[in-house]
C-alpha cells in the first residue's frame, strides 16, 4: 500500500504497472513520468520503466490490510489493458471481494475491453468502476461503463481538454473533473467545469472537483466558484469503518 495525495482516494494498489498511450488524455501521462523516475532510482517494482508489467506478488497485498481504506487500483497502469491476462483481472477482483472493509476505485480508458469482460466479472459491492473521458470524442466510454454490472459507476473528466456541454450521465453515480498537471499541462477553462458540474447537480449526482492543474497545481488550488467540491457516493469512509 502506498499513501496517495490524490484528493479522492487514500492509498494506491498497483498489481500492474506500465501502460501505453491510446488517446489525447495520455499525452502527458503522470504515471509515465513517475515510472521512469522510479526506475532510475532503482525501485524494484519499476525496473521495466513504463513497459506494462504484471506483479504476481502484489496481487494479494490488500488481504494484509486491516484498517478500511479507499484504494485506487492501478494508479500507475490500466487493469483493462490488452496485455493484462483475463485470469489476472479476475483474480484481482476476487481479492477485492475478499476485502469488504475496503472500497476499491478502478479507472480505465479501455472501456471496450471493460464491456467485453463485464459478464465474466463477479462484481463486488465494494468496487467502484470508472472511465476517464477527456473530450467529446471519448464520451462513448460512458456508454460502455453504463452497460456493465458494476455496482457503483463513475466518470473522471480528467484531464478535461475541451468543453463537453451535455454528457449523458444517466446511470452514473459519481462525477470527477480535473485539469492536467505537470510541466506541459494543457489549460482548463472554468466554464468547461461548470457545464459538467451543473449537469451533475441537475441529475443529483455527487460532484468532485479535483484540481485546476497546471505546472503549479497547488498554487492554482481546487476551488470553483468560491468553494471546494468534495462530494462522494453514499459509501463514505465512515460507512466503510462501520463495517470493519
CA dist list (Å): 205 to 27, 93, 209, 229: 29, 26, 13, 12
| 49 vs 43: CA distance, rounded Å | 10
- Would you say 141 and 109 are in contact if contact means Cβ atoms under 8 Å apart? yes
Strands of the sheet containing 152-157, edge to edge, are 2-3, 11-13, 70-73, 103-108, 127-132, 152-157, 174-178, 207-211
Summarize pLDDT for 158-172 with one digit per residue, the tens: 999 999 999 999 999
DSSP bridge partners of 12 = 2, 72
DSSP bridge partners of 11 = 3, 71
For the entire predicted model, the pTM comes to 0.94
* Residue bearing cell 449537469: 199
Q: How confident is the model at residue 235 (pLDDT cuts 50, 70, 90)?
A: low
81 or 2: which leads in pLDDT = 81
Q: Is 232 left (phi over 0), alpha (psi -120 to 50) or beta?
A: beta
C-alpha cell recorded at residue 72: 485506487
Q: How confident is the model at residue 239 (pLDDT cuts 50, 70, 90)?
A: very low
**Chain mean pLDDT for the chain:** 94
Among 218, 167, 222, 216, which Cα is nearest to 192's? 167
Amino acid at each position: 500500500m502506498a499513501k496517495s495525495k490524490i484528493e479522492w482516494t487514500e492509498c494506491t494498489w498497483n498489481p500492474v504497472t506500465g501502460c501505453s498511450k491510446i488517446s489525447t488524455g495520455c499525452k502527458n501521462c503522470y504515471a509515465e513520468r513517475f515510472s521512469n523516475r522510479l526506475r532510475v532510482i532503482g525501485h524494484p517494482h519499476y525496473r521495466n520503466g513504463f513497459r506494462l508489467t504484471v506483479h504476481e506478488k502484489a496481487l494479494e497485498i490488500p488481504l494484509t490490510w486491516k484498517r478500511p481504506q479507499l484504494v485506487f487500483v492501478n494508479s500507475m497502469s490500466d487493469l483493462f489493458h490488452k496485455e493484462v491476462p483475463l485470469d489476472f483481472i479476475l483474480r484481482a477482483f476476487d481479492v477485492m471481494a475478499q476485502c469488504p472493509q475496503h472500497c476499491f476505485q478502478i479507472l480505465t480508458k479501455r472501456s471496450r475491453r471493460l464491456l467485453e469482460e463485464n459478464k465474466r466479472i463477479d462484481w463486488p459491492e465494494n468496487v467502484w468502476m470508472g472511465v476517464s473521458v477527456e473530450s467529446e470524442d471519448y464520451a462513448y466510454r460512458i456508454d460502455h461503463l453504463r452497460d456493465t454490472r458494476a455496482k457503483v459507476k463513475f466518470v473522471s473528466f480528467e484531464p478535461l481538454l475541451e468543453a463537453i456541454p451535455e454528457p449523458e450521465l444517466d446511470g452514473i453515480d459519481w462525477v470527477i473533473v480535473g485539469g492536467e498537471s505537470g510541466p506541459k499541462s494543457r489549460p482548463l477553462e472554468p466554464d468547461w467545469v461548470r457545464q459538467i458540474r451543473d449537469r451533475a447537480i441537475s441529475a443529483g449526482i455527487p460532484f468532485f472537483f479535483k484540481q485546476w492543474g497546471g505546472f503549479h497545481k497547488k498554487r492554482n488550488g481546487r476551488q470553483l466558484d468560491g468553494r471546494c467540491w468534495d462530494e462522494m457516493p453514499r459509501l463514505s469512509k465512515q460507512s466503510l469503518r462501520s463495517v470493519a
